[in-house]
C-alpha cells in the first residue's frame, strides 16, 4: 500500500483541522485498497457479511454525493449506484454489479470529492442547509463525514487483513 496520506494539522484553525482529518481518512480508504486487483477488492469480509472494499469505495462516493450535493446544496440528483434493494435513507453503494470495477468506482469517488471541495470552498462552517426538518451546519457535515470515513476505514482494515494479511497504517 503506497498511497501517501496527508497528516492532519496538529495546531491550526477549526476548518483546516476538519478538512485535514477528512482528507486523511479519504486517503486512508484509497491506501487500504492499494495493490489489490478487482477480484480481491470484491472479497467479502467474512460470512455472513457481504461487505467488500469495492463496496466501501462505492458507498463513500454515495455519501460524498449525499452530504455535499443533496444536503449542502439541495441538488436534486439521483444515486450513483442502483438503489432498488436498499432501505429509504440508506446511502447505498455497497452492492456490486457485475461490471463494477475499482478503477471506475475510485474515479467516481474522486470526482465527488472534487465537487465536495468546490461546494464547501465559499461557505462558512456555520452556514446551514435544510435537513431532516431542521438545519444542519457545514461544521456538522464535516464532523459526520470524518466519523463516516473513520468507521469504514476500520472496516477496510479488517477486510484487507483477511485478504492478504496487511494491517495498520
pLDDT in tens, 42-77: 999 888 999 999 999 999 999 999 999 999 999 999
Domain spans of the chain, in order of start: 14-164
Q: What is the C-alpha to C-alpha distance for residues 22 and 144, in angstroms, rounded to an integer?
A: 10
Phi/psi of residue 42, each to 5°?
-95, 0
Percentage, residues of the chain above pLDDT 70: 92
Contact 79, 94 (CB under 8 A): no
Q: What is the C-alpha to C-alpha distance for residues 31 and 94, in angstroms, rounded to an integer?
A: 19
pLDDT in tens, 108-149: 999 999 999 999 999 999 999 999 899 999 999 999 999 999
Contact 1, 166 (CB under 8 A): yes
Phi/psi of residue 167, each to 5°?
-135, 170
Q: How confident is the model at residue 88 (pLDDT cuts 50, 70, 90)?
A: very low
Residue 82 scores a pLDDT above 80: no
Structurally, at CATH architecture level, domain 14-164 sits in Up-down Bundle (1.20)
List alpha helices for the chain, DSSP H. Answer: 14-33, 38-41, 53-65, 72-73, 102-121, 138-164
Amino acid at each position: 500500500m503506497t498511497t501517501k496520506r496527508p497528516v492532519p494539522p496538529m495546531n491550526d484553525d477549526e476548518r483546516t483541522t476538519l478538512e485535514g482529518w477528512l482528507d486523511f481518512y479519504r486517503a486512508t480508504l484509497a491506501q487500504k485498497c492499494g495493490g489489490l486487483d478487482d477480484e480481491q477488492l470484491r472479497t467479502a469480509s467474512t460470512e455472513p457479511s457481504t461487505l467488500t472494499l469495492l463496496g466501501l469505495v462505492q458507498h463513500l462516493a454515495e455519501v460524498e454525493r449525499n452530504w455535499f450535493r443533496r444536503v449542502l446544496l439541495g441538488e436534486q440528483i439521483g444515486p450513483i449506484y442502483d438503489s432498488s434493494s436498499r432501505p429509504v435513507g440508506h446511502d447505498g453503494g455497497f452492492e456490486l454489479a457485475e461490471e463494477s470495477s475499482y478503477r471506475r468506482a475510485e474515479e467516481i469517488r474522486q470526482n465527488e470529492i472534487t465537487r465536495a471541495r468546490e461546494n464547501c470552498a465559499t461557505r462558512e462552517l456555520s452556514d446551514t442547509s435544510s435537513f431532516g426538518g431542521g438545519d444542519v451546519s457545514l461544521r456538522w457535515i464535516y464532523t459526520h463525514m470524518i466519523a463516516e470515513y473513520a468507521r469504514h476505514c476500520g472496516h477496510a482494515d479488517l477486510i484487507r487483513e483477511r485478504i492478504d494479511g496487511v494491517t495498520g497504517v
